[in-house]
């Protein structure tokens, strides 16, 4: 049911969401945490959206007042996921100080959107992994060059009100965002040895920014696909950007479905992350030696340049 937990009560176990499953898995870590695990997420994904790399922070405290071993946390959490059959894995665990915030410290987020076009009009036979991870674009009438040109309309700092869903709360939302990168490239099938994979041409959009509005990516890509199909013009997109309003959405555009969307990565400033990382005693002893070796390498490099 998506990433975010449905119940705000930390004592109710909600294993149907990724956040709920992670919090339940963290309860199995030994020594037991005196604080009920409550994740703060860096990027929220809706039901149907995939994540190859997401981040979160959580506060854990044990009766020994010691820092948790990262390897042990990963071991307990992933063991729980394997036993329960969850397709979730904890890839890395870093002990950080209280002043690190996983969402505020985020430098950028990168998303990928996969879609495929049939080589023969009306082709319905699809490889099973593609039905889960790729949008089946049923029309073969698609001008990729036209869609690529349309990407430039979104670049830079823009007001994306028209390309976001209406807010459901009274919280004030900043609709001005800046895209750092946006590309459209030809892609490969997920299962190239499956005979059904040969029936389609595959593409993916890659979009990068510090943050995105709710449904922004799916609406932008829906507009570009409509542009490539000839349903709208570049002027139509320009008008939606220049006159930002939830009432200015072009009805000839359909937001793309969530199954093709993948959160690829959440990037942080490495210097800031190092500053907030809590090192073990062994790592603290190794750090001065490592810095000395790096300095020696730099000196040798300078000598070689001279």
The matching CATH number, chosen from 3.30.310.50, 3.30.70.580, 1.10.150.20, 3.40.190.10, for 1-104 is 3.30.70.580
Domain boundaries, the chain: 1-104, 107-266
Instruction: Quick: pLDDT tens for 75-101.
Output: 999 999 999 999 899 999 999 999 999
Instruction: Quick: pLDDT tens for 253-272.
Output: 999 999 999 999 999 999 99
User: CA geometry: angle at 69 spanning 63 and 75, to 5°?
Assistant: 110
| Percentage of residues of the chain with pLDDT beyond 70 | 86
Structural contact between residues 57 and 40, judged by C-beta atoms closer than 8 angstroms? yes
Q: Is 111 annotated as a binding residue?
A: yes
Instruction: Quick: pLDDT tens for 31-62.
Output: 999 999 999 999 888 788 999 999 999 999 99
Q: Does the annotation count 16 as an active-site position?
A: no
User: CA geometry: angle at 43 spanning 37 and 47, to 5°?
Assistant: 90
Catalytic-labelled residue, pool 9, 14, 16, 46: 46
The backbone torsions φ and ψ at residue 28, rounded to the nearest 5 degrees and listed phi first, read -85, -10
Is 107-266 the same fold as 1-104?
yes
The matching CATH number, chosen from 1.10.3720.10, 1.10.10.10, 2.40.110.10, 3.30.70.660, for 107-266 is 3.30.70.660
**pTM for this model (two decimals):** 0.86
Question: Range with the lowest mean pLDDT among 124-128, 171-175, 295-299?
Answer: 295-299
């Amino acid at each position: 049911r998506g990433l975010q937990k449905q119940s705000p009560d930390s004592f109710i176990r909600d294993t149907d969401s990724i956040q709920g499953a992670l919090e339940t898995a963290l309860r199995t870590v030994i020594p037991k945490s005196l604080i009920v695990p409550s994740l703060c997420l860096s990027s929220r994904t809706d039901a149907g959206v995939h994540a190859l790399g997401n981040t979160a922070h959580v506060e854990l405290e044990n009766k020994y007042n010691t820092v948790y071993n990262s390897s042990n946390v990963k071991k307990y959490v992933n063991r729980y996921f394997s036993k329960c059959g969850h397709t979730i894995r904890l890839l890395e665990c870093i002990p950080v100080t209280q002043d690190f915030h996983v969402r505020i410290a985020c430098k950028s987020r990168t998303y990928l959107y996969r879609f495929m076009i049939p080589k023969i009009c009306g082709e319905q036979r699809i490889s099973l992994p593609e039905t889960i991870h790729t949008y089946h674009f049923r029309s073969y009438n698609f001008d990729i060059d036209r869609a690529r040109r349309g990407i430039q309309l979104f670049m830079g700092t823009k007001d994306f009100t028209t390309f976001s869903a209406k807010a459901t709360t009274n919280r004030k939302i900043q609709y001005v965002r800046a895209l750092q990168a946006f590309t459209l490239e030809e892609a490969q099938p997920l299962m190239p040895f499956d005979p059904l994979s040969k029936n389609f041409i595959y593409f993916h959009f890659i979009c990068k920014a510090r943050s995105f509005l709710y449904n922004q990516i799916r609406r932008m890509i829906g507009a570009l696909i409509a542009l490539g199909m000839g349903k709208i013009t570049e002027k139509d997109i320009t008008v939606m950007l220049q006159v930002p309003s939830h009432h200015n959405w072009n009805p000839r555009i359909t937001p793309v479905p969530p199954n093709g969307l993948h959160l690829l990565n959440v990037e942080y400033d490495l210097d800031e992350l190092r500053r907030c990382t809590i090192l073990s005693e062994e790592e603290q002893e190794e750090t001065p030696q490592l810095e000395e070796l790096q300095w020696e390498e730099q000196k040798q490099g300078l000598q070689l340049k001279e």
